Chain A
Amino acid sequence: MDADSLLLSLELASGSGQGLSPDRRASLLTSLMLVKRDYRYDRVLFWGRILGLVADYYIAQGLSEDQLAQRKTLYSLNCTEWSLLPPATEEMVAQSSVVKGRFMGDPSYEYEHTELQKVNEGDKVFEEEIVVQIKEETRLVSVIDQIDKAVAIIPRGALFKTPFGPTHVNRTFEGLSLSEAKKLSSYFHFREPVELKNKTLLEKADLDPSLDFMDSLEHDIPKDEETGAQRVKPKDTVSVKVLELHSSGMNWIVK
């Protein structure tokens, strides 16, 4: 959620029950402003909250002019002091994929994972148990990265690409109509496209290069009606047409 429209977005997202207490909200507003100033971001988004056993992590992301560029992620335990997280690498993701269970809530906490590694000693090959220590920070980074890659979405038309390269927010984007908003095809994954190149030429001919430069949600597996990867659910509120897309924890509100 944009730091500017934080309160409104929080109110709309409250349908799933997760909200912020007043002191958190207030401190978020102030601290996000300061973050924007200090790090000189173009936009600061409040990404969300990861629940831990002892404490919760509040995550924010900063964007530069180019919307599709790598976002900088910051975390905070108390919504007032933010620390920058290192960008995610493949190695980190692979390493933290073995850790299961809840987050502790302490960024310096280390998970221990015993691995069997084959060690060659001369002619003998035997397995040794090695205890690998994985820091919670690493896990945090990779989890955020995975969630973003999997379920960060944006409506079609909200961003457009100029021939010069950078992606901009489309200021003439007025939103989606109700019927459009219910369709999965009007949303894209908010990340570098992975599947676009695999499309046939015929399909590509229909696309508009300035708008359709990201993967559409339509082709996400599972495509089954019942267990769709993304669910579009109209929330019946009177004043505003709101849709929520749930993806086990990540909600997207489209007005």
Chain B
Amino acid sequence: MEDSTSPKQEKENQEKLGEARRSWEGKTAASPQYSEPESSEPLEAKQGPETGRQSRSSRPWSPQSRARTPLGGPAGPETSSPAPLSRREPSSTPSPPAPARQDLAAPPQSHRTTSVIPEAGTPYPDPLEQSSDKRESVPLHTSQSERNTFQQSQQPKPHPCGPRDVSYNNAKQKELRFDVFQEADSNSDCDLQLPAPGGSEGAPSMLETAIQNAKAYLLKTSSKSGFNLYDHLSNMLTKILNERPENAVDIFENISQDVKMAHFSKKFDALHNENEMLPTYEIAEKQKALFLQGHLEGVDQELEDEIAENALPNVMESAFYFEQAGVGLGTDETYRIFLALKQLTDTHPIQRCRFWGKILGLEMNYIVAEVEFREGEDEEEVEEEDVAEERDNGESEADEDEEDELPKSFYKAPQAIPKEESRTGANKYVYFVCNEPGRPWVKLPPVIPAQIVIARKIKKFFTGRLDAPVISYPPFPGNESNYLRAQIARISAGTHVSPLGFYQFGEEEGEEEEEVEGGQNSFEENPDFEGIQVIDLVESLSNWVHHVQHILSQGRCNWFNSIQKNEEEEEEGEEEDEEKEEPDYIEQEVGPPLLTPISEDLEIQNIPPWTTRLSSNLIPQYAIAVLQSNLWPGAYAFSNGKKFENFYIGWGHKYSPDNYTPPVPPPVYQEYPSGPEITEMDDPSVEEEQAFRAAQEAVLLAAENEESEEDEDEEDDYD
């Protein structure tokens, strides 16, 4: 029977496959072949029921009608036909036909899945219930039934349901599979087989009822989660067929999980979906403003103006060079920063502006711009209340309202060192910061020496909010904006360098015998600078100089002698102190003068303070020299001989090989003069008091005795 019908069946099969393939998209129930896939599927996973289920689902559609028809009949030969094909070629060349079959098999699968489900395949209620693997329900049994018949034809009955994962490479394996499924579905087989060869009339109705029962079972809602298997399976299969992942059978469980999870997220909401204001949208809005040019009234005029006085630095060019060195923000971000700087220069009267760098923070970052205002256009600076001063005043003044005068403490706070004037020393430049390009720029307040002194002792991360308090020991006078400014000042003073000769001192103004605060803090660009060879820049550190004044330990760049009276602030020098208030003599601090080469920088624990590199070893002729600071990790400088630029990107902390430990609080200060009036003494104990009283009485007695004696004497006299 088989042989005769097989070639015919084969042709039929092939045709139908072709048809199925063409129409599979529509998922119409054409008559796809129930063909070789049985054998092709097994090539893949053979993990047992689950995969069987999968392969089953991917099995091509087997016409329901055919399933319903007496299985012994047409289905049998039909199913048997592909199988023999596969059987015949198990060991020889499975591959060529297999892939072909697989391909062909693939399209029809879709049909099968979609149509199988609604039509609940073969009806076999009993086997269904008894089947250990419930998932396989419908399709399992349809194919099982087919397989059964197939098996039937192949081998004497009764044979268990066919191998779902037939490996036609290994016949033995097949048999094993048979066994497995034999155990699993022995009952079903019996049932399957019994009616199959039976009459054609009894089968449909039984099939139908079985189908309905199966479907009803599948639709049963789970008491725990409210799902039912039917829907879940159909969702899963839809998802798989839509997405077509590779090796779907391997990730089957995950897909199942995902489908279950997805069920929870999508809730039918009767309310209108409000457009979510994601933070990303907000920032996009703000950044869009950057890209707009802003209306220009006199377009030509403005353009010329803009081109003429270019306060804006060429950030992109510097970014390009830094990129060669491996430093920098991405191109997009740099460009946005560029635009933000342009916005800054447009809104403020700025003479010169430079992209100083980026300081990272815990919640948000800071983008820092170094700015020099035009002459005379300084914005008014609000007098900052010196917190330290206030506190000192409070302490030093004694409270004299009380009746008993409290002892006066002779603690005198050290006089607060005044901050430097703007445009000089540490306050030479004004700094603007913003969190992201597009957000408004905020001006940082000028720095006070006390802040620098304390900033040197603490190490805190920046949060990204300028008004955040800085809680530390020693207590920092100010909030995060002050701390940020102090760190910026320290970093600039420590790491801003330029090639030797790029800057030169201005015309000498008189003598420089005194290291006056004027000092040499003015420099200008050297018009005759001819550039230094990149190799030289890399090899020797003496070719680079600091062009920012060093900050003394006092916190200023220019020495301030706090002992002097106010009128004499201007005059500096080695004046001895002759005031009587402060008998101490404070030595003037001297820092390295401006434009000292960085080869003079101090090392930290035998680590050189700077590292120089060539940007590229492969193409040295176009390489640039890159300087990396080891003292302030994150500070870089580059130069290609003629141009140079400094940049900082980092957390804003100095390098220290050891972990940070806060300084120890100072010993308790001897504030008050000690003397008997304020020294504590114990109250006399009872014995002491009594003794004291006794002594006193004795004295009194003695005194009385004397008196009485005198009286007596007097009395005697009278006598």
Contacts and interface: CB of A to CB of B under 8 A. Distances in A.
B483 to A, nearest CB: 15
A101 B365 contact: no
Contact of B611 (A23, A54, A234, A238): A54
Contacts of A237: 280, 283, 332
Interface residues of A, number: 37
B313 interface: no
B605 to A, nearest CB: 6
Interface in A238-255: 238, 241, 246, 248
Q: Is the interface of A mostly helix, strand, loop or mixed?
A: loop
A16 interface: yes
Interface in A96-111: 100-102
Chain B interface residue bracket vs A? 35 or more
Contacts, number: 100
B245 A171 contact: yes
A101 B324 contact: no
A131 interface: no
Contact of A101 (B284, B287, B607): B607
A49 B442 CA distance: 34
B330 A19 contact: yes
A205 to B, nearest CB: 14
Contact of A23 (B251, B287, B618): B618
A18 B327 contact: yes
Interface string A21-55: 11110000000000000000000000000010110
Contact of A160 (B254, B324, B325, B461): B254
A210 interface: yes
Given A15-B333, A178-B278, A236-B280, A231 B617 contact: no
Contacts of B364: 233
B287 A19 contact: no
Contacts of B572: none
A102 B365 CA distance: 26
Contacts of A23: 616, 618-619
A53 B358 contact: no
A53 B611 contact: yes
A100 B607 contact: no
Interface in B316-336: 323-330, 332-333
Contact of A100 (B278, B461, B651, B657): B657
Contacts of B365: 15
B287 A210 contact: no
A114 interface: no
Interface in A38-89: 51, 53-54, 78
18 contacts: A11-B330, A17-B327, A17-B650, A19-B326, A21-B615, A21-B616, A78-B617, A101-B607, A101-B657, A170-B251, A170-B254, A171-B245, A172-B245, A178-B278, A226-B463, A233-B362, A236-B279, A236-B280
Given A11-B332, A12-B330, A15-B329, 16 more contacts: A21-B325, A21-B326, A22-B323, A23-B616, A53-B608, A53-B611, A100-B658, A102-B657, A160-B254, A170-B251, A178-B278, A210-B253, A238-B280, A238-B283, A246-B362, A248-B651
Interface of B: 245-246, 251, 253-255, 257-258, 278-280, 282-284, 287, 323-330, 332-333, 358, 360, 362-365, 436, 461, 463, 605, 607-608, 611, 615-619, 628, 630, 633-634, 649-651, 657-658
